[in-house]
Structure 1
Amino acid sequence: MSTMMINGRSATLPDDPDALLIDVVRGDLNLTGTKLVCGAGVCGACTVLVDGAPVVSCLMPARAAAGKTVTTVEGIGEAKLHPVQKAFMAHDALQCGFCTPGFVVEAAAFCDAWRATKGTAMPSREEIGAALSGHLCRCGAYDGIFRAVAEACAGRFDGDNIASPRLEARDKVTGAAKYTVDIHHDGQLEGMILRSPFAHARFTEIDLAPARAMPGVSAAISLLGDDRIARYVGEPIAAVAAKDSKTALAALAAIKHTSENLPAVIGLDNARKSDAPIVFEKSSRKKAGNVSEGGGAPAPWRGNVRGPSGAFSHKAKKARSWLDDARKAHDPLLVEGIFRTGTQQHACLEPHATVARFDGDRLTVHVSTQGVFELKEAIAKRCKLDHHKVHVIADHVGGGFGSKGKLGMDTVAAIELARAAKAPVRVAYDRHEELSVTGYRPAAQVEIALLPSEQGDLKAVSFKAYADTGAAVNSTIAVLARLIYPAQAKELVDFDVISNLPPGSAFRAPGGPPMAFALEQAIDEASLRMKVDPIALRKRWDTDPNRARLYDWASSLELWRDRKTQAAQTGRYRRGTGVAAGYWLYLWQPGSKVELAVKGGRLVASSAIQDIGNGCRSVIANTVAHEFGLEPHDIEVRIGDSSLPEGPPSTGSRTTASVIPPTLLAVNALKAAILQSSKRPPTPGSNAPWRELIAASPDLARSAVRPEDAKPTLPGIRSPLKEAGLMGTIFGWMMRRMSNIAIGAGVPSSVQVIEVEVDTWLGHVRVLNVATGIAVGKIAAPALARSQATGSVIQGIGYALYEAREVDPRTGDILTGGMEDYRIPGIADTPPMDVHFDEIGFDHVLGGSVGIGEVATVPTSPAIANAICNAIGIRLTEIPIRPDRLVAALKGRAAA
């Protein structure tokens, strides 16, 4: 029997020749800091040290570790934190934290080797990028990682003092943070889902008996709907629970089913044909998924096309008339184009996962979710349970970006399997499931026409968007062009194009990036034709005061002032600088509560929210600490538990705006209670010794609900719904009634200036510098806000240049089902970034803060496209801007 030394202890290795080192580390030894993500050695999350060298444990056979010394993240800082761990904490070089242990292990090895040979010299970005190139972070924490590794190597974290802006940072850098995939109960079974191999089929029979008869199988259930129709490859049809994954896979293979293939249609273009097979008949349209975070407005259907939905147009007939006249007159100022955006996968590193356990009639569900409180209610309704007997827990969540905002089939299957098996069941998606059936930002075709007037104003805009939504509806792309660049007339029309593909879902700023990719390039093209500075034209046409300040900031940047022109450059490599603007809505959740209490002489804040990397714990702790004159780490924050006071989901950038107001109200209420209970009179003024008063106070608790905006709309603060007239009022009512989302006054905004380098021979684009200006009011947690901003930009870079889902057009199979095929940005793709926060504009909000996660990603892709046009004089209208597309465009111009 062979053994290895792991973290200083001897461990026996299994005889199973198929066992991998990660199976032993996570399963046998319960060292869950090591994470399984890709299973292909691509992402680096499972990295451990073997005899001091970094190794991906998802590829290493367990028997290959015999006689060797293995160190996991738990062993890196077991006795004392490594300088790299301290640097990661100090620089907030993490967000959701799921990839962090792998980064820490590799970075620690790099740092130790660097210090042994080069002392305290600081490594360059290129050297750090090369060393960590085998690691991926979907949150985009690379900017902080660069700084952390450089300063750890330079010896700046050799001491013991460490302050972290993120409350849970120590748990994440040491591997102690527990995610849903790390939960294990006694007797826990492994659940797996059998999925349809057909794009469109009616399953006439499902025989579960062979699976149920297998040794080690405790449950097998059907997941088919009432009509027994699967409308895409991967739609769930059955599920099993077994003693381990190997047995579960065998049980899935044993299930017998018969089906009738139905005509299928794949993709945006085919689904729009007049003779295309129908995906949803009229009687089944309610089965379509929802790609939006809110409920959709009614719209007509014609075949597989739902729409037009054009209620937010403004004088649409006049817009069409003016544009037709401009075409007939060959008006040189008329800008027209067709833009295409690709599908963007969420690609969360922690997969969709649920662990369900019944204790009598009480259900406890650990789940990777963006809404613990809302999910509890959804589970109770779907599974016909008393909602008081449903308990949802999400201590840490490894990314979401919109894909984990609703009740998913992983949760439904885990619950029903646990009920049938009378044992705890875990369902965790593999990487192919994660990249195929968990949702995506729909691809889109956008037709835009923009007409300036002879006087230089914006006269008319026509914007038609066809979203490739798969088996889902409610896209919002064109409608978002309503609230930026007021024109005399706007025609804004959205269409959903339904096909036999998995349903799309909300993705960070749903509809925002594809809208901006088309609109912001059209604005840039108009500036060229009008011979006006692109920023100056935006400021002329855009009346929003938040963006007006950001335009002034952007125009003063050296990066902008020193930009080169295409005509001034020759040679293989050309540089260009582009600008783009974007916005999002100020959203918040009615009914959001925070409880603030004194417990055992310590302040405890509680709310049923969840931290998906956005730093909710720290935002609450910072707010409370500031009001009491304490340090954030003095505050205990309890979140991630549906039994706590109702909190908002982490979607739509609404969390900060929903929790800070009730936190401040709870602070005031608790202060009054503490002073009332104190036997000594309070110190006059604002310097009351709260630390001493809290320590001496009996246990007290006060809760508060997020109020309506505390002040009326201030002069210069726009109410987007009022601007949209009657339809805006109706839309606001629908959002509140159907989705419990309130839309406040004021518009979170972003303006980005980006510099790129274009290789005109090979077609590669490299982003060199990014300056992003963001107006979201007061910044509640500055370091974490910077992390959110830079991470959003990095996701935007991926959207613009790399990310593309490939589909077999005949079968509907998703071909990019692994991280080796679906390319997301790595650390070496990360440019230096300057983040500017404009903290004015939301004084009418209690606390003055609104959300940042969505708005910061909207302008990135058009800013990159505008920079490429500035470099080579060609406008690229399809993303991702792949090398082959860029080279073809250059060849096309040369041939012309």
Structure 2
Amino acid sequence: MGRTHMDVEVNGSSCPAPDGPGGTAAGHLRDRLGLTGTKVACGTGVCGACTILVDGSPTVSCLLPADGLAGRAVTTVEGLGGDHPVQRAFAAHDAMQCGYCTPGFVVEAAAFVDSWRAEHGDARPDRGAIADAMAGHLCRCGAYEGIFAAVADACAGAFDEPSDQDPPRIDALDKVTGRAEFTADRIPEGTWEGVVVRSAHAHARVLSVDPGGARTSPVEAPGPAEDADPVLVDLLGPDRTVRYAGQPIAAVAAPTADGARAAAAAVTVGYEPLPAVLDTDAAQAPGAPAVYPTRAEQRAAPSYSEGPTPPARWNGNTRGPSTVGWRGGTAVRRLRAAADHEDPLLVAQEYTTATQVHSPLEPHVCVASWDGGDLHLRVSTQSLSQVADRAAAHWELPRERVHVVTEFVGGGFGGKNGLSTDVVAAVELSRAAGAPVRVSLDRAEELTDAGHRPGTRTRVALLADGEGRLSAMTVDSYGDGGVSTGSNTATLAFLMYGRSPRRVRDFDVITHRPPGKPMRGPGGPPMAWALEQAVDEMALRLGEDPLALRTRWDGNPKRRALYEKAARLDLWRSRPRGERTGRFRRGVGVAAANWMYLLAPRAKVELAVEDGALVARSATQDLGTGIRSVLSDVVTERLGVPASALRVEIGHSSSVHGTGSYGSRTTTSMGPAAAQAADRMRAALREHAPDVPAAGPIPERALKEALTGAEGVRVVGERRADRWGHLTPDMDDLALGRGLSGAVHVMEVEVDTLLGRVRPTRCWAGIAAGHVYSERLARNQCEGAVVQGVGYALFEERRDDPATGVVLTDNMEDYRIPGMGDVPETEVYFHQEGFEHVRGGGVGLGEVSVVGVAAALGNAVHDATGVRPRELPIRPDRLIRGLR
């Protein structure tokens, strides 16, 4: 029977159309039909995550009115069935990381591949054609290289038939089919919606909060009826001062999203406005109002550091310096003398960077419920065990009464750690409502108050002696993290280029703007942006090849190996030399980077035999780095069994302790724990089946016999100390290991000198992080780091209203992240030596792979144009100004 004009055909079946006007097609598909493969991220048609096919045409469903579906044929990612060549290609090429944007990409790519092949047969489209076809889609993780390869191969017919090889990511099929359920996707029956009420002022004292009809006491007879009274909870606490526009004041919940929004709009807040400082110059001016006037308030200031924040003194709104030195007095004296004598081998320059916002495509979201005194949380977090521990402490519960679930995380990049606003609001509202409550930040909230990489102003001074050796270095950096502290930009420079006399100092300048949070390689990219351009300037003054100078100055053997490899690249050897002319000019730049080796000493993996199969469990989470796959690979390779013999379950706090996914510590912590668990399981299996060998592959018959006899056996593997121990003790499941990872990036750009536009064309990323556990997944991480570094260099810049402090770039049109047409073709090279003392032989690479990208791009722009970019992003107006 054909559908009526009031029906909608969804994935080949007739479904009821929306009852009436109101709402979006995305909301109808997700909330009423349960097709959660259609993701909502930006809400403004920019990111493409919600793409569906409407009568065969790709359409962003977040902008399509729900009643526009009536009488149409709709295909969602679920309707592709899992066997479309594009889905196979995406899985095989690991064309994803977190997977939140993947369904939208897959739907668009399927339409493109089908139409391309109908017109061109099995011809392979070039990179530009694919970028044009995918122009309406964004991947914040930066998995574009895999997407290019997947689309090209699908067009060429390479995936018309199923492959015998398993994809590199064990949850790839869940992500390409839309089966992977994120926290934003699952809403239990009877769940209320929560909305946060935020400050309209950058600085004020809150005098009153009129709930506007919402109840402020617990609901006596909760229920899902739409006429139930909304509830309000206070989020401000005893300190009734707000310090930035957008700061949470209260939260309201109602049985429906519309009801919650109406209740929030009805809340009236009484303010006593106070003077505010909205930029760093105003904050440092004499007589400026203090953001934190008392020592107690200063101690309570939030931190954007990933580790402990070293103590420092306060002077008004300036905190610091936090100083590190090696013969620092000598360095300062040499630099002053060089300045007095106008020494040409003194490079003294200042560089600035803008605020970069994390903006994962899955927003911060939490569903909280209370059940008999137990607290249940479904939360999008990159630190599941930490959330469970902190929730237990915050709400004074035994740890075993807190249950946290985080199965799939739609990106984080350092911004989804701890008890964020969505978690606290959802828990308090659930207790007040007597029902489950979901709090999900909208995109404006995500871009305002969910974290950012602080802006910086960094002064670098380098002095070379008559033989071209580094004689002295100072770095002073001022962090602009709003109401938060934690600058470490200068400190990271201390770890570069040997042990010449040096002094580095970090300062924070506090303003009435939203707080920063750690973001991938915190402090590293702004450090490299300043230091690596200063090193290039020194090479220019010495008349020396920039790679050769770094090789001389840098005593790190792992980075020296990367320099030698980079020097042999055709990209480097055939680069243009001398002054460039013409409108379009090509340049090649290089930058080096390092990162601390961090690990989680408490990481554990449990292996169990259940129903004749092996099950690996840990309370860790996967935000796209692929730890599920790493655990599977380590255990199956160590035991010598097929992947089908193991099931991996992560994301539940009831499992043994798993590390958070931040600080480049996940794989280097969980991998060795999984290896020890596998060794202990082998020993346990040998007790039940003598045919199980002491080493090597376990034969299928022996494995089956052993698993039958070992039903119920459980072993736990731990992350033991390295051969030479660690540099620090365990600091809340964080320790500093011995050694530094390294990276060298070589970037090629084309500069349009008429329009001031910079187009990255090719990038070589050399990474020295020891043993690579899963090469394709690791390569994907490093390719994504190049994408994020390009965004930092060219586009990303949070902008605020200078009069009110309100964030103006609160949508994904105004806050631009790179798309597929903005990024270079990237080659990744791994140097896998140098960490033999580490358990597992390898350390994290997520941070080090992003640190030097923007600096390499900046050096490439200078090579092409002779203009030294000092400010990030490298906007066209700034570049044209320099060219004049």
TM-score scaled to structure 1, two decimals?
A: 0.95
Match of 1:100 among 99, 102, 111: 102
State how far apart, in whole Å, the 1-side matches of 2:644 and 2:344 are.
61
Question: Per-residue CA shift, 1:428-469, capped at 9, x if unaligned?
Answer: 000000000011000000011000111221111010000001
Query: What residue number does 2:239 align with?
Result: 227
Question: Where does 1:637-676 land on structure 2 (aligned, <5 Å)?
Answer: 637-676=648-687
The 2-side partners of 1:85 and 1:636 are apart by: 22
In 2, Cα distance between equivalents of 1:695 and 1:150? 45
Deviations 1:475-532 (A, max 9, x none): 2110001111024211100001111001001000000000000000011111111111
Q: Which runs of 5+ in 2 are unaligned?
A: 217-225
Equivalent residue in structure 2 for 1:125, among 127, 132, 136: 127
Query: How do residues 158-237 of structure 1 correspond to structure 2 at under 5 angstroms?
Result: 158-161=160-163, 163-208=166-211, 210-212=213-215, 215-237=227-249
Tell me the secondary structure at the aligned position of residue 550 of structure 1. helix
Q: Which residue of 2 aligns with 1:746?
A: 739
Quote how far apart the aligned CAs of 1:255 are. 1.3
Query: Any residues of structure 2 matched to 1:623-638 within 5 Å, and which?
Result: 623-638=634-649
User: What residue is the counterpart of 1:291 in the other structure?
Assistant: 304
2:536 pairs with one of 506, 524, 534: 524
- Aligned equivalent of 1:861: 854
User: Matches of 2:483 and 2:683 in 1, distance apart?
Assistant: 54
**SS at 1:649's partner residue?**
coil
Would you say the 8 A contact 2:112–2:133 is kept in 1?
Answer: yes
Measure the CA separation in 1 of the matches of 2:360 and 2:334: 45
Residue 222 (structure 1) shift:
1.1
Assess if the C-alpha contact under 8 Å between 1:598 and 1:694 holds in 2: no
**Could you tell me which amino acid in structure 2 is paired with residue 830 of structure 1?**
V
- Give the aligned partner of residue 25 of structure 2: 21
Alignment-mate amino acid for residue 834 of structure 1: E
Contact 2:627 2:667 in 1 (8 A): yes
Please tell me whether residue 60 in structure 1 is matched to residue 89 in structure 2.
no
- Corresponding residue of 1:574: 585
Counterpart secondary structure, 2:778:
helix
Q: Distance in 2 between matches of 1:691 and 1:851?
A: 37
Offset at 1:383? 1.9
2:364 aligned with 1:352, yes or no? Answer: yes
1:771 corresponds to which residue? 764
Counterpart selection for 1:156 from 152, 155, 158: 158
Shift in alpha-carbon separation, 1:688–1:22, aligned structure 2, 3 A: closer
Verify the 8 A CA contact 2:415 2:450 in the aligned structure 1.
Answer: yes
The residue identity in structure 1 corresponding to 2:822 is D
Counterpart AA for 2:150:
A
Aligned to 2:137: 135
Matches within 5 A, 1:271-286: 271-282=283-294, 283-286=296-299
Does the Cα contact within 8 Å between 2:771 and 2:841 map onto a contact in 1? Answer: yes
| CA deviation after TM superposition for structure 1 residue 683, in Å | 4.5
CA contact (8 A) 2:18 2:70 kept: no
Mapped to 1, the partners of 2:30 and 2:693 lie a distance apart of 54
Q: Which of these residues, 577, 589, 592, is aligned with residue 565 of structure 1? A: 577
Could you tell me how far 1:635 is from its partner in structure 2?
Answer: 2.1
- Pairs within 5 Å for 1:378-393: 378-393=390-405
Aligned residue for 2:214, secondary structure, equals helix
Q: Distance in 2 between matches of 1:139 and 1:683?
A: 42
AA paired with 2:319? R
Task: State percent identity of aligned pairs.
Answer: 48
Counterpart residue type for residue 189 of structure 2? D
Structure 1 position 34 matched with structure 2 position 38:
yes
In structure 2, C-alpha distance between the alignment counterparts of 1:166 and 1:149, rounded to whole Å? 18
Corresponding residue of 2:875: 882
681-690 vs 318-327, greater mean Cα deviation: 681-690
Q: Which moved more, 1:146-155 or 1:591-600?
A: 591-600
1:171 alignment partner AA: D
State which drifts further: 694-703 or 167-176.
Answer: 694-703
Are the structure 2 counterparts of residues 434 and 459 from structure 1 closer, same or farther at C-alpha, using a change threshold of 3 Å?
A: same
Change in 2 beyond 3 A, CA 1:554/1:633: farther
User: 1:113 is aligned with what amino acid?
Assistant: S
The one-letter code sitting in structure 2 at the alignment partner of 1:530 is L
1:704 aligns with 2:717: yes
Secondary structure of the structure 2 residue equivalent to 1:210: coil
The answer on 1:588 being equivalent to 2:590 is no
Deviations 1:49-101 (CA, angstroms, capped at 9, x unpaired): 00000000011111112111011111112xx5100000000000000000000
Other structure's SS at 1:746 match: strand
Residue matched to 1:810? 803
Q: Distance in 2 between matches of 1:300 and 1:690?
A: 65
Q: Which amino acid aligns with 2:531?
A: L
The question of whether the paired residues in 2 share the 8 Å contact of 1:203 and 1:259 is answered with yes
What is the identity, as a one-letter code, of the residue corresponding to 1:133? A
In structure 2, distance between residues paired with 1:524 and 1:379: 48
Q: Distance in 2 between matches of 1:473 and 1:684?
A: 53
Q: Which residue of 2 aligns with 1:686?
A: 696
Displacement, 1:688? 4.2
CA contact (8 A) 1:4 1:69 kept: yes
Amino acid at match of 1:506: P
Displacement after TM superposition at 1:185 (Å)? 0.9
The Cα shift of 1:810 comes to 1.1
Q: Which runs of 4+ in 1 moved over 4 A?
A: 681-685
Q: In 2, distance between residues paired with 1:683 and 1:492? A: 56
1:382-406 CA distance string (max 9 Å, x none)? 1222221000110000000000022
Amino acid at match of 1:155: G
Is the 1:518–1:862 Cα contact (8 Å) retained in structure 2?
Answer: yes
One-letter amino acid of the structure 1 residue matched with residue 488 of structure 2: T
Q: Residue in 1 aligned with 2:314?
A: 301
Deviation at 1:372, TM superposition (A): 0.7
Q: State the partner residue of 1:820.
A: 813
**Aligned ranges 1:226-375 → 2 under 5 Å:** 226-282=238-294, 283-310=296-323, 312-375=324-387
Alpha-carbon deviation of 1:692? 3.0
Say which is worse superposed, 380-389 or 403-412, in terms of deviation. Answer: 380-389
Q: How does 1:530-569 map to 2 (within 5 A)?
A: 530-567=542-579, 569=580
Give deviations 1:97-154, integer Å, cap 9, x for gaps. Answer: 0000000000001111111111111111111100100000000010000000000011
Structure 1 pair 566/383, CA: closer, same or farther in 2 (3 Å)? Answer: farther
Alpha-carbon offset, residue 566 of structure 1: 4.1
CA distance in 2 between partners of 1:485 and 1:763 (Å): 33
CA contact (8 A) 1:796 1:860 kept: yes
Once the two structures are TM-superposed, the CA of residue 684 in structure 1 deviates from its matched residue by 7.0
Partners of 2:760 and 2:643 in 1: CA distance? 36
Query: Cα distance 1:537–1:6, how it changes in 2: closer, same or farther (>3 A)?
Result: same
Classify 1:334/1:26 alpha carbon distance in 2 versus 1 (closer, same or farther; 3 Å).
same
Change in 2 beyond 3 A, CA 1:593/1:325: same
Aligned-residue Cα RMSD (Å) equals 1.4
Within 1, Cα distance between the matches of 2:611 and 2:376? Answer: 28
Report the counterpart of residue 447 of structure 1 in structure 2: 459
Q: Distance in 2 between matches of 1:690 and 1:332?
A: 71
1:894 matched residue in structure 2? none
Query: What corresponds to 1:408 in structure 2?
Result: 420
Partner of 1:725: none
**Residue type of the partner of 2:491?**
V
The letter for the 1-side match of 2:505 is: V
- State whether residues 127 and 148 of structure 2, in contact with CA within 8 Å, keep that contact through their aligned partners in structure 1: yes
Give the total of aligned pairs: 866
1:71 and 2:75 equivalent?
yes
Partner AA of 1:386 in structure 2: P
The aligned counterpart of 2:13 is: 9
- Return the alpha-carbon distance in structure 1 between the equivalents of residues 500 and 827 of structure 2: 36
